[in-house]
A and B are shown apart, each in its own frame.
Chain A
Amino acid sequence: MKSGKFWAWVVFILGAAYFFIPLIATVEFSMRMRRGAYSFDAYQIVLGDARFQATFTYSVVAAVFTIILGVLIVVPAAYWIRLRLPQIRPVVEFITLLPLVIPAIVIVFGYIRMYGSNSPLPFLANDTATNALLVIGYATLSLPYMYRAVDTGLRTIDVRTLTEAAQILGAGWGTIITRVILPNVLIAVLSGAFLTFAIVIGEFTMASLLNRPAFGPYLQNIGANRAYEPAALAIIAFAITWGCMSLIQILSRFAPKSANRPN
């Protein structure tokens, strides 16, 4: 075996150990609830907890609405920027990065100040409006990922020529976006959607400060008061995130192949 290959394996094993040992430790700990024997008691308690089901369902619904809102905003915007306004792309890229730079707590305090019950837009006046505000906040947080995923998808196709080809065949904007552009960037959109899903499921700051019954605050609450259940929850949350990533990988195999990039 060549020495280069040997060191590559050493680095790989160290990296894998760094990643897997805490994970295995957490799994092992989460299964030690029953004294003297391994069991899934912690998982049974967590999954059977009505609050787990309620908060998880709440966050899943919020994620679905966030994804819909994100797609409705990002896909037409990214498409139009590629088609007609390429000169403002750097500005838009900078704007979409802002949620990574500005902490969620700053954004949510801004919301509370802007949309309080005395505001002309009193989002905090009732639960439904606050839920809507939370979804808007989530859409903002997921903007860097959703925009980049969609923009990368658009980069793989010749947006301008395909648009013109559809136009000259009689298609209007609705047909162009739904039948030409969206199907060709669908996998990119789904990647953005799953990233959004993963962010929303684990988000704590916004949901907590807006006092919404989401999964993030529930995780924190359990973590502060129990021993084994938080470990089980961490593994469950981890499995959900990895499930999302795996789905992105599986779906990308079904991406429409470009004539120029057959493989």
Chain B
Amino acid sequence: MAEPFLSIQHVRKSFGATTVVQDFNLDVEPGEFVSFLGPSGCGKTTVLRMVAGFEEPSAGKIVVSGKDITRLKPNQRNVGMVFQAYALFPNLTVAQNIAFGLKVAGMPRADADRRVAEMLDIIKLPQMADRYPYQLSGGQQQRIALARAIAPKPKLLLLDEPLSALDAKVRVSLREEIRSIQKKLGITTIFVTHDQEEALSISDRIAVMYGGKAEQVGTPFEIYNRPATKFVANFVGTLNVLEGKVTDAASGKVQVNSQEVSLKGKLNGSKSGDTLSLALRPEAISLGRQPGHDTSLSGEIAEVHFLGSVIRVRVGIGGNTVSLDTFNNSTTPPPVVGDKADISFSSGDMLVLH
């Protein structure tokens, strides 16, 4: 296997007695777009800041292209970074902001001007060169910050929640733009976010973080469909969790509210009598028995929310509640609270959480 472009090895970071990152490991391939996804305080920004050089790891090392950069100062790393708060220099125009890194690197004026024009074209703001940051919208400022970060052709691009200060519409368009620019330039990128939709939509791989550790690293498809831990399953997407009890470990029989479910090959060493958390995505569940679904459970309609194009239904199954969405159909009235109802799904879609 080829050597990874960026290798974060056994990195730990403590502030006094508090350990915020513990034994974090990640290899990133050249040109890859990796997102750090997790709730506030999970250590994702701290890892990013250690890669940037703003924080020094308490243990472990960070290697870029085979070179250990753990103790290098930020200005010696050739890394580009975009900050949540834009961080454009207020006293400089857009063009001067983009040219800042080029000037510091000693690039001749003519070359720097050419590069600035090229960057303004890439971010589609060629007419903004002489504006000051305060004259720009948030989305425009963040695009300028992106141009400034990539102008000096850094080896690695770090994006620290760059979209979180923007409104929803701009967020979606800018994340697509970031991804398209990243692909065009082929620059290895680490993107920190707490927004799962953002991470799922633009990443090659996602590292889901919790309590200073990477709970799971995988493609968006793997993270969503095969979460490795209960935290990942709960954090990424909506999840229905059912408590079950193993009745026959050998044949994979699990009882959920006195109803039997077959989970052959998924019990991973669980013994008869063990209790398990079983998870199902709402989109895997249908109301009523449907062809192709090999498992069904009976319950009672607990809540119905009419949302226009979809109807969100919550079905009580003993002590568990399962949420599912059905499409609105003008000829079929929505379910009625209190009615008996069956839900069905494919046992293959059921996840066993550890």
Residues of A within 8 A of B (CB): 157-158, 161-162, 164-172, 175, 179-180, 183-184, 256-259, 261-262
Contact = CB atoms under 8 A, between A and B. Distances in A.
Interface residues of B, number: 33
B220 interface: no
For the complex of A and B, the 3 pairs showing the least CB-CB separation, nearest first, are A169-B101, A256-B91, A165-B87
Contacts of A261: 134
Contacts of B152: 169-170
B182 to A, nearest CB: 17
A194 B115 CA distance: 41
B75 A172 contact: yes
B221 interface: no
Q: Which of A161, A162, A259 has the largest number of chain B CB atoms within 10 A? A: A259
Contacts of A183: 91
B91 A184 contact: yes
Interface string B151-194: 01000000000000000000000000000000000000000000
B86 A167 contact: no
Given A170-B104, A184-B90, A257 B52 contact: no
Contact of A259 (B54, B78, B133): B133
Nearest to A173: B75
A168 B81 CA distance: 7
B101 A170 contact: yes
A261 B90 CA distance: 10
Contact of A171 (B88, B104, B134): B104
18 contacts: A158-B85, A161-B87, A165-B83, A165-B87, A165-B89, A165-B148, A166-B89, A168-B77, A168-B149, A169-B80, A169-B100, A171-B75, A179-B100, A257-B90, A258-B90, A259-B141, A261-B134, A262-B134
B216 to A, nearest CB: 29
Interface string B52-79: 1110000000000000000001110111
A165 B86 CA distance: 9
Given A257-B132, A259-B134, A259-B136, A168 B88 contact: no
A169 B90 contact: no
Given A169-B100, A171-B75, A184-B90, A258 B81 contact: no
Contacts of B105: 170
Nearest to B52: A168
A252 to B, nearest CB: 14
Contacts of A256: 90-91, 132
A168 B133 contact: no
Contacts of A257: 90, 132, 134
B148 A169 contact: yes
A169 B157 CA distance: 12
A219 B87 CA distance: 50
A69 B135 CA distance: 36
A184 B78 CA distance: 26
Nearest to B54: A164
Nearest to A167: B74
Given A164-B83, A168-B52, A168-B80, A259 B75 contact: no
B134 A167 contact: no
Given A157-B90, A171-B104, A165 B75 contact: no
Q: Which of B77, B134, B145 has the largest number of chain A CB atoms within 10 A? A: B134
A154 to B, nearest CB: 13
A167 B53 CA distance: 10
Contacts of A175: 104
A57 to B, nearest CB: 34
Q: Which of A167, A175, A257, A262 has the largest number of chain B CB atoms within 10 A? A: A167
Interface string B81-109: 10101111111000000001100110000
B132 A158 contact: no
A161 B85 CA distance: 8
B310 to A, nearest CB: 39
B305 to A, nearest CB: 39
A169 B74 CA distance: 8
Nearest to A258: B90
A179 B104 CA distance: 10
Given A170-B101, A170-B105, A170-B152, 5 more contacts: A168-B52, A175-B104, A180-B91, A259-B90, A262-B134
Contact of A170 (B54, B75, B134, B145): B75
Nearest to B106: A170
B273 to A, nearest CB: 55
A169 B133 contact: no
Nearest to A172: B75
Given A168-B80, A170-B152, A162 B87 contact: yes
Contact of B89 (A167, A172, A184, A262): A184
Given A168-B75, A170-B75, A259 B86 contact: yes
A137 to B, nearest CB: 34
Contacts of B74: 164, 167-168
B150 to A, nearest CB: 11
Contacts of B52: 164, 168
A170 B77 CA distance: 8
Nearest to B104: A170
Contacts of B149: 168-169
A238 B141 CA distance: 46
A42 B86 CA distance: 59
A86 to B, nearest CB: 15
B206 to A, nearest CB: 24
